[in-house]
Amino acid sequence: MEISREAILRKTHYGLNIYAHVLRHYYQGETVLSLSGRDCKPAKNPFNADKPTLMVKVVDGIATHTYTEEAIAQGNVFDFASLHFSLEGQALLDKINEELYLRIGKERGFYHQEETQPAVAIPEIQKPTPPVFSYFKKPVSNVKPSRQVSLIEVYHLIKGNDFASCTSTLRNISEPKDARKYKAQNFDYVTFSGSFSKRNDANLQRHSGLLTIDFDHIEDIPTLKQSLLNDHYFETELLFVSPSGDGLKWVIPIDLTQAKHQDYFKAVANYVSHTYQLEVDQSGKDISRACFLPHDTEIFINPKYI
């Protein structure tokens, strides 16, 4: 299936997300675009000695750029992406689809037909509301949530330094029994699948529409991480290395109008076994399953939220 420019623009806020994605390669940790309506404040230009000469705005449904010093020709987002990726035409569109995990042309879960892109005018795009769920303070024996948090909040907590010390300490404990005890006593945790008045399935207040898949004792984490991000069926919401450092936590969306939580878990577990020849932690079948929050600077969140 050939990917169209229109399909990409529909999923990248007219292409503004593509500008941001490219600029983050050059200016990691910085705010690369400041959006005001459909225009942006002057941004650093990696193709002009990092000077703040890049002017980005949306014109007729597509993000475009001009340069106050005319270091390179003005153009649109695809021209800018071509400078970065050194690709053109369909190869460039395929690369953008892959790099930004747009999943255009891929199926979305077991219960959905292949995604299609109707030829209609690009609508005003709003960021989706991130799922919310319960947050619990350590130790794990505490079953009363302290508050509700969103996926974005957890992303920043894991990426930041809040859990750096306890994660480092845990990974330096060689005795498995001692490590389990330390983790249970020293890590805050969440229930990704929902909000609870008390942590057990009977006290579920609202399901978040998320399912967590645990991969333990993985030999090649980078390869599995990339495979999951490019999975044919499931869109990744959050993906990070487990507190122990030898596993992955894969958070994916599920549609509870199509199947129950437990049925989804069984289907996904079977799919993972068949596709990746890996067994998943069976505790994921419980809606109230606790997930400890580690430190991981390379945590992935679905770009649609940021």
Taking the CA atoms of residue 44, residue 46, residue 48 and residue 54 in that order, the dihedral angle to the nearest 10 degrees is -40
**pLDDT recorded at residue 276:** 92
Structure tokens at 246: 């030898």
SS (H, E, C) the chain: CCCCHHHHHHHCHHHHHHHHHHHHHHCCCCCCCCEECCEECCEEECCCCCEEEEEEEEECCEEEEEECCCCCCCEEHHHHHHHHHCCCHHHHHHHHHHHCCCCCCCCCCCCCCCCCCCCCCCCCCCCCCCCEEEEECCCCCCCCCCEEEEHHHHHHHHHCCCCHHHHHHHHCCCCHHHHHHHHHHHCCEEECCEEECCCCHHHEEEECCEEEEEECCCCCHHHHHHHHHCCCCCCCCEEEECCCCCCEEEEEECCCCCCCHHHHHHHHHHHHHHHHCCCCCHHHHCCCCCEECCCCCCCEECHHHC
Is residue 257 exposed (0-12), middle (13-18) or buried (19+ Cβ within 10 Å)? exposed
For residues 135 and 197, give the distance between their C-alpha atoms in angstroms, rounded to a whole number: 11
Tokens of 30: 């910085």
What pLDDT does 72 receive?
Answer: 75
pLDDT score recorded for residue 110: 59
Paired residues of 274 in beta bridges:
none
Mean pLDDT of successive 10-residue stretches along the chain, which has 306 residues: 88 88 86 66 86 85 80 87 94 92 73 47 59 97 97 96 97 96 98 97 96 94 92 90 96 91 93 91 89 96 84
At residue 128, the pLDDT reads 79
Distance CA 299, CA 85 (A): 24
Q: Which residues have CB under 8 Å from 27's CB, separation 6+? A: 44, 46, 50
pLDDT reported for residue 114: 47
pLDDT of amino acid 289: 95
At 122 the pLDDT is 41
